[in-house]
Amino acid sequence: MTNIILFGPPGSGKGTQATFLKEKYNLVHISTGDVFRYNIKNETDLGNLAKSFMAKGKLVPDEITIDMLSNEVDKNCDANGFIFDGFPRTQAQAEALGHLMDDKDTQIDAMVALEVDDEILVERLLERGKTSGRTDDADEKIIRNRIKVYYNETAILKEYYQKLNKFHGVDGVGSIEDITERLSKVIDSL
């Protein structure tokens, strides 16, 4: 089983690359945002609990998020592995994910981060904003703040996974195919 955390700032191409890697390696892509939306829309117990925190403007506790992810892993127990997208975001979440994987008799094999220059990210997101309808992709000030928040929050995770010899930075600039090839070299080496 191969389990990777796919990381990168907004606009780095995580969603695009997750689609290719999922197919190539027959992995299950678990996007935390999609998991939240599914649980809330379907009014699961965990979804209702998460919604109660969100309605108060509070962050959903890590335990609830981990329980949702655990359910996703259990639904796909015959998978070749998982691509985690959007989680973890803190060291406590990284440790909780490690414990979850231990409970499932597996582990996180690598955190793979797509690395892209900020100016290219801004260009990509503004371009996506023209077609996506996402308001957070249409305002350069908001985009730059999202990128800044990403770096502030994830610098800790880079160090955390480097200490475990599981961090791999990958150049996220070039053709989709070239980037997929770079990511594949990392995954093939695990």
Binding-site residue set for ATP: 11-16, 128, 174
Q: Which residues are annotated as a binding site for AMP?
A: 32, 37, 58-60, 86-89, 93, 134, 146
CB 167 within 8 A of CB 161: yes
Nearest to 7 by CA among 145, 183, 189, 185: 183
Q: Which stretches within 7-166 are classed as H helix?
A: 14-25, 32-41, 45-55, 62-75, 91-103, 118-132, 140-163
Name 7's bridge partners.
113
Q: Which residues are annotated as a binding site?
A: 11-16, 32, 37, 58-60, 86-89, 93, 128, 134, 146, 174
Report residue 113 as tokens: 């981060």
